[in-house]
């Protein structure tokens, strides 16, 4: 005779029915970046939730100092650092924390810190040739420490309304200046322009 039963099981011994869902970070790269933000961090670990609405990355002890997530998989997160917080100092190591499902804080199994460089070693954009442009316009930029390691310059345009980021290569690049052609496909609006080298 079979006696069908329904309902939950009970633990045979104390804690025998308990497990931990472990979220952990094993590495952060790079571990230094521009004081002005924009450094692309690659965070390696396990059990990240593949959903940007349920995952946050914080730089330092200020829990609303978000690293803007650009891509995420269960083992890798890529995010752009914000500019340095007024509460942080250049050269001071800040812990990078991953919050998954908005409540679980990842354990750190390696070196999980990031430090902002000072102004002297961070790229700087001091001026642009025009505040009003259109498609096909050749925009000139002036500043310092523009080139990446391969000698090229990269520029990001962030739409102030939608926060959409357009990344462009320049047609001229030197340490102190760069030129780029504004694409004709860019939608109208206000944009924040930034020069990105290898550190942000």
Does the reported pTM lie above 0.75?
Answer: no
CATH class of 24-116: mainly beta
Interior/surface letters 166-192, b for 16+ CB within 10 angstroms, e for the rest = bebebeebeeebbbbebeeebeeeebe
Residue 180 is predicted with a pLDDT of 93
What pLDDT score was predicted for residue 89?
93
Mean pLDDT, the chain, integer? 87
pLDDT band at residue 102 using 50, 70 and 90 as cut-offs: low
Please give the share of the chain, as a percent, with pLDDT higher than 90: 50
CA nearest neighbour of 97 among 70, 79, 74, 85: 79
Residues of the chain with CATH 2.60.40.10: 24-116
Residue 188 has what pLDDT? 92
What pLDDT, on a 0 to 100 scale, did the predictor assign at position 11?
66
Identify which has the larger pLDDT, 47 or 10: 47
Over residues 72-83, the mean pLDDT reads: 93
- Taking the C-alpha atoms of residue 35 and residue 127, their distance in angstroms, rounded to an integer, is 18
Confidence of residue 3 (pLDDT cuts 50, 70, 90): low
Residue 16 pLDDT exceeds 80: no
Q: What is the CATH number of domain 123-196?
A: 2.60.40
Q: Residue 13 above 60 pLDDT? A: yes
Give the tens place of pLDDT for each residue, 146-194: 888 888 888 988 889 987 888 899 999 999 999 999 999 999 999 999 8
- Both tokens of 85, joined, read 């917080």
Phi-psi region of 75 (alpha: psi -120 to 50; beta: other; left: phi over 0): alpha
Q: Where residue 106 falls among pLDDT bands split at 50, 70, 90? A: confident
């Amino acid at each position: 005779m079979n006696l069908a039963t329904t309902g939950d099981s009970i633990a045979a011994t104390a804690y025998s029915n308990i497990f931990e869902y472990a979220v952990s970070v094993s590495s952060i790269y790079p571990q230094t970046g521009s004081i002005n933000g924009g450094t692309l961090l690659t965070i390696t670990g396990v059990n990240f939730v593949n959903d940007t609405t349920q995952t946050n990355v914080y730089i330092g002890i200020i829990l609303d100092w978000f690293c803007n997530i650009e891509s995420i998989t269960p083992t890798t997160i890529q995010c752009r650092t914000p500019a340095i917080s007024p509460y942080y100092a250049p050269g001071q190591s800040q812990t990078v924390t991953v919050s998954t499902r908005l409540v679980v804080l990842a354990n750190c199994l390696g070196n999980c810190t990031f430090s902002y460089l000072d102004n002297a070693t961070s790229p700087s954009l001091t001026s642009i040739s025009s505040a009003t442009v259109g498609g096909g316009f050749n925009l000139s930029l002036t500043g310092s420490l523009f080139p990446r390691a391969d000698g090229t310059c990269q520029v990001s345009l962030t739409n102030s309304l939608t926060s959409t980021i357009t990344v462009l290569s320049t047609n001229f690049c030197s340490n102190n200046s760069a030129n780029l052609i504004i694409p004709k496909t860019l939608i109208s609006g206000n944009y924040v322009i930034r020069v990105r080298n290898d550190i942000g």
